[in-house]
Amino acid sequence: MGMSLLVCKQTRPSLSIPTGSGRIIGVRPQKEKVVVVMGATGAGKSRLSIDLATRFRAEIVNSDKMQVYKGLDIVTNKINDEESRRVPHHLLGIIDPNSDFTATDFCDLASLSLKSIVNRGKLPIIVGGSNSYIEALIDNEDFDFRSRYDCCFLWVDVSMTVLHSFISKRVDRMVEAGMVDEVRSIFDPNADYSRGIRRAIGVPEFDRYFRAETFSDDDDQENHARLLEEAIQAIKDNTCELACRQLEKIYRLRNVKRWKVHRLDATDVFTKRGKEADEAWEKLLAVPIMIVQRFLYNVGPEVYNGTRKTSREAGMGLGKEGRQANQHVTDALTVHLLQPPATILFNRCFTVSMPVPMPMPMLVPVSMASSMTIIIRGRRGGR
């Protein structure tokens, strides 16, 4: 099969699709695409967003109200350089820790980040546990978000019993990683715990312990150990309560505000260890990949709440021409790389070389930028 692929910049993008009946269906994207990853703290939102970003040429916009602040990387569970896998992150560790950062501030900065990302032909992925910030952005009438963007909502869910156990162990790991010293470095007996980064779970809980450590005349090691243990337990309890509140907000957004949210049950991943846990994650990951693929390119089966529709269900409501057009979209946007080494040349942009076999077809990013026309020359045998 001979094939050449040309990507050209154009002012008003469109994709012309032959229907098989001699007519042409013109598809003109009306809105930019945004993926939103939600879930309770510790459920795996960051991991999912990075896995998606590496597959769909995306950049991540942080929507965690504590991770926007500089400092306290352990307390706020900021993703590190190795975990980010070079995926660009926006609104992460940029705000002065002593200043207030409101939902309005988030909407202003997030809107600028979204515009910057889509202007560079990338897919924005908003991720974080502060659902009030996400709601403020998406339902913001001043910004008019919904007239500008189409959203795909992904909810990473974990059984609360399993998640609470994980949270407890995660706090223990945070303590081992140096959380106590990290919080001690900003301890101020006159500090206001209702402002800035000091509102974060993991800061006010240590107040009594640090006061005893700083001002106590006696060297009562037993009392200090008790206060430290109480602080750590309070952090675990408060984090579990936060997870419950986050879950309640997601239920409200889905059931009351009628947001179309795709639920991804990651409980199985948390109940396994080592290789089995990794395999469970890869199995789970296949579902949001299909969801996002369909959202961006309108190809592939429909998936709701982790269930893939059958070919008959996916075809319901489509006439013959609609099914043919859908097949042509699939042909146009999915390039199977069969001969190693596989190289695709992007006009005036860059060259991508990939080894084969590939784990999945390469998806050409057309609609996420809404600024590309893709022309594929060549034919498949027998067609």
What one-character-per-residue DSSP string does 223-238 give? HHHHHHHHHHHHHHHH
Most confident by average pLDDT, 89-98, 306-315, 353-362:
89-98
Q: pTM for this one?
A: 0.73
In sequence order, what are the beta bridge partners of 157?
Answer: 265
How many other C-beta atoms can be found within 10 angstroms of the C-beta atom of residue 210?
Answer: 18
Each residue's pLDDT tens digit, 76-102: 999 998 999 999 999 999 999 999 999
- What are the E-state strand segments in 224-284? 261-265
Q: Which of 40, 3, 289, 275 is nearest to 166 (CA)?
A: 40
pLDDT tens across 155-191, in order? 999 999 999 999 999 999 999 999 999 999 999 999 9
Pick among 3.40.50.720, 3.40.190.290, 3.40.50.300, 3.20.20.70: CATH of 32-163+240-297: 3.40.50.300
Crossing angle for the helix pair 274-297 and 45-53, to the nearest 10 degrees: 60
Residue 116, token pair as written in the block:
């910057």
Q: Token pair 């602040």 is at which residue? A: 69
pLDDT, tens only, 290-300: 999 999 998 75
CA distances to 55, 125, 162 from 90, rounded to whole Å, are 18, 10, 30
Residue 62 CA, distance from chain mean position: 9
Half-sphere exposure (Cβ direction) of 111: Cα atoms closer than 13 Å: 18
Mean pLDDT (the chain) is: 78
Tokens found for residue 221 = 């090691």
Asked if pLDDT for residue 377 goes beyond 90, the answer is no
Question: Among 42-56, 146-160, 224-238, 296-310, which is the least confidently predicted range?
Answer: 296-310
Residue 16: CB atoms within 10 A of its CB come to 13
Every domain of the chain and the residues it spans: 4-29+323-377, 32-163+240-297
Kindly state the DSSP code that residue 41 receives in the 8-state scheme: T
Dihedral sign computed on CA atoms, order 9, 14, 15, 17:
negative
How far is the C-alpha of 338 from the C-alpha of 186, rounded, in Å? 56
Write the DSSP symbol of residue 317: T
Q: Is 314 within 8 Å of 301 (Cβ atoms)?
A: yes
> CB of 154 within 8 A of CB of 264?
yes
H or E element: which one contains 300?
none
